[in-house]
Structure 1
Amino acid sequence: MDKVLVIEDDVMVGDMVSMYLGEEGFRVMRKGNGEEGLHAIASFEPDVILLDLMLPDMDGLELCKQVRETSMVPIMIVSMKNKVVERVSALTVGADDFLSKPFSMHEMSARVQALLRRAKIYQARVQEASMEEAEFHQEVRSTEISDTMISLDADSRSMWVKGGLVNTTYSEFEIMRCFVNHPGRVFSREDLINTVRGFDSFVTDRAIDVHIANLRKKVEENPKQPKRIRTVWGVGYKFIL
């Protein structure tokens, strides 16, 4: 049974969501503030998190950022805020989806199912690629790019830049692995969306741009003048050795 953690301080909204998802066959836990939510992640080990942005004890974006430091669990932001800048901010700190209040319970459940489906597809792809990873693992583990050492470890899903461990979301790691494995190849935004999420994704072109901007901050000496992750205007992006 898939588990959903609902971090929502509005009792009415939280109870309605919990009841609906419970009837849909999920095991649901609700917490009313950020601190309780963080503790529940470790003990409950949810498969999906529904996170309100406006919590009584902390900002939802900060909580999302903290979760991403240790976990790749899919996170869907649920909020009254619906401006583009707020959606982009949520994606930037690691959220996977954004649902504005008020919302349809049916749509909310469908999005939760989509997040779970994509997470399972992602895990399946990792397992299917294990043999291929083993063949070029040594090369990928230590990919030297002129004066910048970028190393990817597929087993631990870790990235090092100049010997220092750099945190990445699983979307960022997949994009970087795609680049490192195919230097010089131009990837359209659609290519990267399919690489990261699959064909039923809610991810947009703008989300890919956000991930690229985050990766540049992590691997480029000057993110404003990138030398490695280049923009190919009108097409997409490519990685230069």
Structure 2
Amino acid sequence: MDRVLLIEDDDIIGEMVCMYLTEEGFLVLRAHNGRDGLAALREFEPELILLDLMLPDVEGTDLCNSLRNLTPVPIIIISSNSKVSEKIEAFTVGADDYLCKPFSMHEMKARIQALLRRSKQVHPTEEPLVQQNGTVPPTDLNINLEKRTLYVRGEPVDMTFSEFELIRLLYEHPERVYRREDLINALRGFDSYVNDRAIDVHITNLRRKIEANPKEPKYIKTVWGVGYKFVL
């Protein structure tokens, strides 16, 4: 049974989400504020977090950033704010998806299942990937697929769920040029509030984490007018 942590202070929405997800076979724990949400993260060990941005004791984006620093599990923001700038900020601090209130419970379930499905993918090997041409990826950048860990020059790097999925896709297909639309579809699998700008933010964050000089990237190259590619 998948464990979902809901951090929501609105009683009506909170009860509706808890009731629906419980009936759909999820184990749900609700926290009414940010402090309780952080405590529940340690005790409940959720596999996914639903986070309201409007909480009585803390800014939602600050809490999202704190949660992301503590756990790699997917985070879905639920908010009445539909501004693009708000969504971009949420993705920047670690959110993996964004639902605007009011939202369909069926859509929420679909998004939860999609993120859980991706986060639970088990791959057959922990060894560095061997590319189709038989070469081994560069030794200073390796991915452990089973543990969902990226190593840069031998050191593990913290990433959001979406950042890992993005670098994994690029890493497994070197030299292939991906349009932004391709990357959005690969991350979501269905319509989402993620847009071209969100992909650019993810790429910028990844470059900061893996490139020696993010302004002159060695691995993640921009193909102007098209998208991005990974270069060995």
Normalised by the length of structure 1, the TM-score is: 0.80
Corresponding residue number in structure 1 for 2:50: 50
Corresponding residue number in structure 1 for 2:109: 113
Aligned residues of 1:64 and 1:93 also touching (Cα < 8 A): yes
Give the letter aligned to residue 122 of structure 1: R
Q: Show the 5 A alignment for 1:145-224.
A: 149-198=140-189, 200-202=190-192, 203-224=194-215
Tell me the distance in 2 between the aligned counterparts of 1:91 and 1:223.
19
Aligned residues of 2:51 and 2:78 also touching (Cα < 8 A): yes
Aligned residues of 1:75 and 1:97 also touching (Cα < 8 A): yes
SS of the residue corresponding to residue 41 of structure 2 reads helix
Q: Runs in 1 of length 4+ with deviation above 6 angstroms?
A: none
Give 1:20 deviation, angstroms: 4.3
Give the letter aligned to residue 69 of structure 2: E
Aligned residues of 1:18 and 1:28 also touching (Cα < 8 A): yes
Label 1:32 to 1:208 Cα distance change in 2 as closer, same or farther (>3 A): same
Give 1:23 deviation, angstroms: 4.8
Give the letter aligned to residue 94 of structure 1: G
Tell me the distance in 2 between the aligned counterparts of 1:3 and 1:166.
26
Label 1:121 to 1:29 Cα distance change in 2 as closer, same or farther (>3 A): closer
Give the letter aligned to residue 172 of structure 1: E
Label 1:159 to 1:172 Cα distance change in 2 as closer, same or farther (>3 A): same
Aligned-pair identity (%): 49
Structure 1: state its 5+ residue gaps. none
| 1:85 partnered with 2:85 | yes
Structure 2: state its 5+ residue gaps. none
Give the letter aligned to residue 91 of structure 1: F
Aligned residues of 2:129 and 2:143 also touching (Cα < 8 A): no
Stretch of structure 1 that moved more, 212-221 or 1-10: 1-10
Tell me the distance in 2 between the aligned counterparts of 1:23 and 1:138.
40
Aligned residues of 1:122 and 1:197 also touching (Cα < 8 A): no
Aligned residues of 2:114 and 2:188 also touching (Cα < 8 A): yes
Aligned residues of 1:184 and 1:239 also touching (Cα < 8 A): yes
Looking at secondary structure, tell me which structure has more helix per residue.
1
Deviations 1:62-117 (A, max 9, x none): 2222222343333221223221111001111221222233x04xx1x223312232
Aligned residues of 2:6 and 2:28 also touching (Cα < 8 A): yes
Corresponding residue number in structure 2 for 1:29: 29
Tell me the distance in 2 between the aligned counterparts of 1:123 and 1:74.
8
Tell me the distance in 1 between the aligned counterparts of 2:12 and 2:109.
22
Q: Show the 5 A alignment for 1:60-71.
A: 60-71=60-71
Label 1:48 to 1:123 Cα distance change in 2 as closer, same or farther (>3 A): closer
Tell me the distance in 2 between the aligned counterparts of 1:58 and 1:41.
16
Tell me the distance in 1 between the aligned counterparts of 2:210 and 2:69.
18
Equivalent pairs counted in the alignment come to 227
Give the letter aligned to residue 86 of structure 1: E
Aligned residues of 1:33 and 1:55 also touching (Cα < 8 A): yes
Corresponding residue number in structure 2 for 1:59: 59
Tell me the distance in 1 between the aligned counterparts of 2:100 and 2:13.
13
Give the letter aligned to residue 51 of structure 1: L
| 1:4 partnered with 2:7 | no
Normalised by the length of structure 2, the TM-score is: 0.82
Corresponding residue number in structure 1 for 2:94: 94
Give the letter aligned to residue 68 of structure 2: R
Give 1:237 deviation, angstroms: 0.3
Corresponding residue number in structure 2 for 1:122: 118
Aligned residues of 2:50 and 2:76 also touching (Cα < 8 A): yes
